[in-house]
Amino acid sequence: MSLSLPDRWRKPLLHVALLLAALAIYAKLVEVYGGFSAKLLYLQWPELLCVLCLYGLLYTALKPSSWRPVLAAIPIFVIYLVHDVFYLVYGQVFRLINISELPELLQVLPLPYAILLVIAFVTPFLMLFAKIDYARPWRLALSMLPLVVIALGVRAAPDAFASGFQSFAHEIVTYSDGKSVEQNGRMAMLLYREAQRAGTLERIAPYRDRAAFDAHYREELARIGPDLQRRDVHLIVLESFLDPRLFKGVEFSRSPVHPDFEQLFGNTLGLSVSPVFGGGTAQAEFEVLCGVPAFEKLSSVEFNAFTGASAHCLPGILSGLGYQVTASNAYKPNFFNAQPAYQGIGFAEQYYPAEFYSAGPTYLHAGDTGVEDYQFDGDLFAQNLGFVEDYLRRGDRLPLFNYVLTIYGHTPHNLDPLKRPAVIQLRSGFHDVHLERVVNQFYYRTEAIAAYVRRLVALDPDSLIVLVSDHVPPLQFGPNTYNALAYLGNRPNSDHYNRIAIIDRGRPVSPPAMRHYDMPDLVLDRLTGGASCGTGRCAYRDVDRAPREAHLDRYLVLMAHASE
């Protein structure tokens, strides 16, 4: 007696088998290009359930046709593709909240690419919706029921969903999102991380005590105030400022650093660990200005959770100590929710290029960026110097906190051959076109930085000047380029290390080994002659510094009030 399947099941099961085979082949191909490892596909039981559930309900909802199995598979492959592109470019695992960053992505991309991206994603879904069997509404509703149940579980009972997932899933690697995806799957971890985020939103409510938060802020002002030297501070965050000399596997036809920069800083440049690689400037800004790690507990970008409510970050503290605090951002005010975020952080004045901003006065102009797409550092610095010079002329002025965020050096690192022709050639065993552009940009950027800092010192000789890169650029092949060319000798987490430079009272200072979230402590320590950190309050001065997770409570308190 032989077992046989009913005819109506044969085709659907064949389609499922073909789908799983196609996903396995896809995963292997992505692994070849530096994506998630496909060696543990056999462990991904949560992912298998997610794939079968989504495919089954879409298959059921569609009208019978030869296109039915292909159309039902489209959303699954789109989810996989988004995960893998995000991981290959930024070295990060995609989370559901990253969808909120799509407007920023479309703004950064050149218009033709943005249009192609929209068409590439919208067209398949239009085809899918056109083939749904709307003539059977009850069947359609029942097919969507599993999605509704999962969504309710993630949002209404997030902790129960997360704990249930943990008991069923394979290992969730606490220190690596990527390894967790490799062991449990893309879609499964997407749901798990969203449940974690929803649970955090519930748990953060007890941290909202505005009276206690403001009282602590006043205590900080009282602690710092007596030792404060009311000196101006110029803090510049440099977009994708990569020092190519930190690669071990590259030779250059000439030194990639401009002689003026070399003469000014010598060997005093330091390193600071950024929370991000390849993108996410707002995450680096958050750490630099607020002094806590970017844990991404409320959002994949902390700035997106800011509402403008006071968060008492470094600018807010300096404002409370009698400073005029200003932010000059070389890009668009709606990028990464910058305006509410800067307001909550404590900036009294915000300036953006007039081409992107008409809501208030500004001294900035983007000008004609031409083929480079983004304003050159030197052009931005010249305008900021004019602003600083005008401010310093005021007779009754307050001390100034001058925060500047640059945009030059952003992907794709285009060079204007007339203004900034390539002057450096690379020799290496691993070819990356974007790296060649970055190296030449570095030469011109270091020239502009040296000129800017020297002029600042001449105008404001008693000031503190700090320059730090937000993150290293993704280049053409993401982390693969950094690994292949041994950036910083491929030390652990090497592609999160960034250059930092300090000029204090006109003299270069070698920074300590630090993380971006140490910046407020460093600034206040130098403004108080070491008194601010004299009682062991500052992690960057500790040999055995506390782990990143030790700052979680301070982060939750800050974000609870920033998101009010």
* Sequence ranges of the domains in the chain: 7-203, 229-562
pLDDT at 541: 61
pLDDT value, residue 543: 45
Q: What is the pLDDT of residue 448?
A: 98
In this predicted structure, the answer to whether residue 544 has a pLDDT above a threshold of 60 is no
Mean pLDDT of 261-267: 96
118-122, 169-173, 282-286, 526-530: least confidently modelled range = 118-122
Is the confidence at residue 358, as pLDDT, over 80? no
Residues 6+ apart with CB under 8 A from 35: 84, 87, 88
Q: Quote the pLDDT of residue 338.
A: 86
- In this predicted structure, which of 142-146, 397-401, 492-496 has the lowest mean pLDDT? 142-146
Residue 335 has pLDDT above 70, yes or no: yes
CA distance 549 to 92: 19
Residue 253 CA to residue 423 CA, distance in Å, equals 9
Q: Which two tokens stand for residue 3?
A: 């077992």
Please give the biggest Cα pair distance in the chain.
Answer: 101
Q: What pLDDT is stored for residue 416 in this prediction?
A: 94
Q: How far is CA 505 from CA 84, 423, 522, in A?
A: 47, 34, 15
Domain 229-562 matching CATH 3.40.720.10: the answer reads yes
What average pLDDT does range 42-49 have in this prediction? 89
Distances (CA, A) of 234 to 158, 384, 468, 496, 542: 43, 10, 11, 23, 25
Residues 428 and 206 sit within 8 Å (Cβ to Cβ): no
Choose the weakest-confidence range: 64-68, 300-304, 519-523.
Answer: 300-304
Check residue 109 and give its pLDDT.
61
Q: With residue 326 as reference, give the H or E element that holds it.
A: strand 324-329
Rounded to whole angstroms, what are the CA distances from 278 to 33, 50, 471? 17, 30, 6
Mean pLDDT of 339-358: 91
Instruction: Report the chain's mean pLDDT, rounded to a whole number.
Output: 89
Q: Between 391 and 533, where is the model more confident? A: 391
Mean pLDDT of 11-36: 90
Q: How confident is the model at residue 193 (pLDDT cuts 50, 70, 90)?
A: confident
Whole-number pLDDT of residue 188? 93
The pLDDT value given to residue 446: 98
Q: What is the pLDDT of residue 159?
A: 87
Structure tokens at 6: 């009913």
- Identify the residue with better confidence: 337 or 531: 531
Structure confidence at residue 1 (pLDDT): 44
CB 178, CB 36: distance < 8 Å: yes
pTM of this prediction? 0.79
The pLDDT of residue 323: 98
Q: Quick check: 247 pLDDT over 90?
A: yes
Confidence label for 108 from pLDDT (cuts 50, 70 and 90): low
> Has residue 563 got a pLDDT over 50?
yes
170 pLDDT higher than 80:
yes
Q: What pLDDT band is residue 122 in, cutting at 50, 70 and 90?
A: confident
What number is the average pLDDT over the span 330-343?
A: 85
Q: Give yes or no for residue 559 having a pLDDT over 90.
A: yes
Burial class for 442, CB neighbours closer than 10 Å (0-12, 13-18, 19+): buried
Q: Looking at 32-41, 95-104, 364-373, 404-413, which range is the least confident one?
A: 95-104
Residue 2 pLDDT greater than 60, yes or no: no
Phi and psi torsions of 428, nearest 5°: -160, 165
At 104, the pLDDT band (50, 70, 90 cuts) reads: low
